[in-house]
Structure 1
Amino acid sequence: MSMRSSHPSDANSRPTRAVATDLLWAGAVIVLVVAVGTLLYLAQSNLSIVLWATVVAVAAIAYSTVVSIETAQTLNAIGERAWTDVQPLRAPATRHLSGSVDRVATLVWEREAALKEALQRERSYTLAVELSEMSLRDAHQRLAEVNAELEAFTYSASHDLAVPLKTIEAFAQLLSESDNLDEEQVDYTARIASTAQRLRSLITDLLVLSRMSSAPTGVENEIVDFNSMVLDIEGEIVTALGMGVNVSIEGSLPTVLAPSARVRPILQNVIQNGLKYNDSESPLVIVSGFRDGNQVIIQIADNGIGVPIAKGEDMFGLFSRLESKLDTPGSGAGLAIARRAARSLGGDLWLESSCPEGSIFMLALPDQIDAGPVPTPAPARVEV
């Protein structure tokens, strides 16, 4: 422990007493110098002048030294007092600074931990995405293989069924031309021929459905003009169903860039479906179209028997047939083929509305041609 008092009055008195003592010594030296100098001057010799100058210089140096020492002591005393005054403030400041440093260190540690955790999550997410992409690629590859196998099987099975079917049709034809059949045998022969025809239609639909279930490959897009396509389909249907049916185009139909061989079965099956399931005296289908954003919308409305909206999705099932009193031929695969063809092109086909007076189907296909303004949509109902 220091022997010096830290009381402020003691610190103030020390430099005062020291300054007084030093000043007395300095005064004594000056008096001595003046006295010696005076005696030498009175002697009036050159040596006395030199000695006088020397004594004066020594006195000045001594006085300056004394003043410097006293100034240093005074400043030292002031510094000690300032240090003593600062001490009460130093401890809280040091504690505050230490606490701030600790908080900053903690914050830095937390940020580093959060960054490491974020990087770990990012790596985990990236790994999960890569694994998902690999799984997705594997699934797509497997799906493509399964589709290829299914298509090959369907083609092979259809071909294997078609060969004996030709034999059945040939024998049925021979039997129908015989003159030795009674009425019952003629009826059986006609049933055999009719069943063979339905089986051939089913085989054809299976082949078409197999091709429409996957995206088109090895074909080029072309400009599909729905106006000419609908007119061509109308000619075929009128030939098959008779002159009593009518297909009408309302306005001008838009065009689309797509494989024509995929678009045609969509229109053909929907139009034919509306005319076959129709108990009107004048079966009618009205086709209209417009552009909606980046899509081409084709509306196909008929005045047929209609179907409840609740069963609208059932119509697109494979081999699904409407319940009606009409004896309508067909395998029930028409709408399934049409929807799969639409979806294979990136579009869709759905039942928009239905009532006892008819149904409205909507076909949406990606629009890849800029063909001008959007025409006004066709009316949502067919009135005959």
Structure 2
Amino acid sequence: MDSREPAALVPAAVDTLPINFAILDDEGTILHTNRAWQEFGEANDLELRPDTIGTNYLDISAQAETETARTAAVGLAEILAGERELFEFEYPCHSPDEQRWFLMRAAPFTDGDRRYVAVAHFDITERHEYQRRLEASNERLEQFAYAVSHDLQEPLRMVTSYLQLLEYRYTDELDEDADDFIEFAVDGAERMEAMIEGLLSYSRVDTQGNSIGSVDIEAVLDDVLIDLEMRIEEADAEITSESLPTVAGDASQLRQLFQNLVDNAIEYSGEEPPRVAISATREGDEWLISVSDEGIGIDSADEDRVFEVFERLHSHEEHAGTGIGLALCRRIVERHGGEIWVDSDSGDGTTFSFTLPAVRSRTE
């Protein structure tokens, strides 16, 4: 058995890692590098990675002429000054054969009274390329959805107009079956038009959204309740809310989010008057917001399905809707960097919860 202390084995173990790794002192001087760091330095531009022990990493990075090196220098300086506990930065690196992408990560640690900084560079080329392809694919899908929904609107309006004209001119002149057929056709065309408009809104969430800023959720909810005033009165609904926060978001999209969730709670209230409660809880850098009702609930097996486009758990005769509302909610929340989920039991009410980024105060 090896009698060496575990601490003495750490440098040897770090040497086997494929991650480029170095340890700096509290002034930025390189004290240790592993084999991957040294091998990378032999084959690539060292602008962002001085590889010689005794070299001051901060000085060399600060003197470099590129924006990449300057950004790394500023982040590392903040770590050394104790202004932050973690610095992460993605950047491209031109090797002799190809361009690769790396993630630089720096964090301080102490050993006794001495303060050090660990710096690592992870090769994230595969992840970066996958993300780039995924974004390109999503963009093409969004463009396709926009084109299809936009191009379908005009012929559908024509169909709807002529069906409505038939209904207006010939109601009571045809037999009962013909009247029913016209009514079904008009209803179907109107529902298809609503679905196309919903698909158009869905395709525009990322590309047509406003810039992210500070949004008072309380004010957003007030506007939504004004928009839904007649709906609320007709259903004899009661909407209650705790004090709601200011978040980082797109006010227009968050208004759509709350309108969809409140309207959904009213629609699926069951036979009793709707009772909807909205709450908010701070969790670290996010706000957790919940919209709860006492309605018919959702079977646990269907909790993921409700967020899919055009997925409906009930027929149109049972409940109106296009099947896009909750999918749109998820798209909006994801655009804001949050998550949305549902907790429910069939017949026992539903709670939709989602996270939104908090607005940092000057003291945070």
User: Per the shorter chain, which TM-score range?
Assistant: 0.5 to 0.7
Which of the residues 140, 164, 178 maps onto 1:149? Answer: 140
| Distance in 2, Cα, partners of 1:229 & 1:172 | 38
Q: Structure 1 residue 232: deviation in Å?
A: 2.2
**Contact 1:277/1:326 (<8 A) preserved:** no
Alignment of 1:353-372 (within 5 A): 353-370=344-361
Q: Which residue of 2 aligns with 1:162?
A: 153
| Distance in 2, Cα, partners of 1:371 & 1:252 | 21
| Distance in 1, Cα, partners of 2:350 & 2:304 | 13
Q: Which residue of 2 aligns with 1:173?
A: 164
Using a 3 Å threshold, how does the CA distance of structure 1 residues 123 and 219 change in structure 2: closer, same or farther? farther
| Distance in 1, Cα, partners of 2:221 & 2:15 | 64
SS in 1 for 2:343: strand
Which of the residues 203, 218, 231 maps onto 1:227? Answer: 218
RMSD, matched Cα: 3.4
| Distance in 2, Cα, partners of 1:218 & 1:359 | 29
| Distance in 2, Cα, partners of 1:315 & 1:221 | 27
SS in 1 for 2:183: helix
Alignment of 1:44-55 (within 5 A): none
**Contact 2:288/2:355 (<8 A) preserved:** yes
| Distance in 2, Cα, partners of 1:141 & 1:255 | 32
**Contact 2:146/2:204 (<8 A) preserved:** no
Q: Which residue of 2 aligns with 1:189?
A: 182
Which of the residues 245, 255, 263 maps onto 1:264? Answer: 255
| Distance in 1, Cα, partners of 2:159 & 2:282 | 49
Using a 3 Å threshold, how does the CA distance of structure 1 residues 146 and 173 change in structure 2: closer, same or farther? same
- Decide which structure has the larger Cα Rg and report it: 1
1:201 aligns with 2:194: yes
| Distance in 2, Cα, partners of 1:253 & 1:350 | 19
Q: Structure 1 residue 116: deviation in Å?
A: 10
Q: Structure 1 residue 245: deviation in Å?
A: 4.0
Alignment of 1:242-261 (within 5 A): 243-261=234-252
Higher strand share: 2
SS in 2 for 1:304: coil
**Contact 1:320/1:333 (<8 A) preserved:** yes
Q: Could you tell me which amino acid in structure 1 is paired with residue 134 of structure 2? A: L
Which of the residues 285, 288, 291 maps onto 2:279? Answer: 288
Unaligned runs of 5+ in 2: 1-10, 18-33, 45-94, 103-121
**Contact 1:247/1:287 (<8 A) preserved:** no
| Distance in 2, Cα, partners of 1:136 & 1:192 | 49
Higher helix share: 1
Deviation string 1:27-52 (CA, Å, 9 cap, x unpaired) is: xxxxxxxxxxxxxxxxxxxxxxxxxx
Which of the residues 113, 119, 140 maps onto 2:35? Answer: 119
Deviates more, 1:281-290 or 1:356-365: 281-290
Q: Which residue of 1 aligns with 2:264?
A: 273
| Distance in 1, Cα, partners of 2:127 & 2:151 | 35
**Contact 1:266/1:341 (<8 A) preserved:** yes
Using a 3 Å threshold, how does the CA distance of structure 1 residues 326 and 281 change in structure 2: closer, same or farther? farther
Using a 3 Å threshold, how does the CA distance of structure 1 residues 340 and 230 change in structure 2: closer, same or farther? same
TM-score (norm 2): 0.62
**Contact 2:214/2:359 (<8 A) preserved:** no
**Contact 1:316/1:336 (<8 A) preserved:** yes
1:331 aligns with 2:331: no
| Distance in 1, Cα, partners of 2:316 & 2:202 | 27
Aligned residues: 259
Percent identity, aligned pairs only, is 28
Q: Structure 1 residue 193: deviation in Å?
A: 1.1
Alignment of 1:296-307 (within 5 A): 296-307=287-298
Q: Could you tell me which amino acid in structure 2 is paired with residue 146 of structure 1? A: S
Q: Structure 1 residue 326: deviation in Å?
A: 6.5
Q: Structure 1 residue 247: deviation in Å?
A: 4.5
Using a 3 Å threshold, how does the CA distance of structure 1 residues 115 and 367 change in structure 2: closer, same or farther? closer
Deviation string 1:84-134 (CA, Å, 9 cap, x unpaired) is: xxxxxxxxxxxxxxxxxxxxxxxxxxx99x979962586379999759533
Q: Structure 1 residue 308: deviation in Å?
A: 2.4
Q: Could you tell me which amino acid in structure 2 is paired with residue 305 of structure 1? A: I
Q: Structure 1 residue 221: deviation in Å?
A: 2.6
Q: Which residue of 2 aligns with 1:317?
A: 308
Unaligned runs of 5+ in 1: 1-110, 373-384
SS in 1 for 2:177: helix
Alignment of 1:18-97 (within 5 A): none
Q: Structure 1 residue 236: deviation in Å?
A: 2.7
Which of the residues 328, 340, 350 maps onto 2:331? Answer: 340
Q: Structure 1 residue 274: deviation in Å?
A: 1.4
| Distance in 2, Cα, partners of 1:272 & 1:310 | 23
Q: Which residue of 1 aligns with 2:79?
A: none
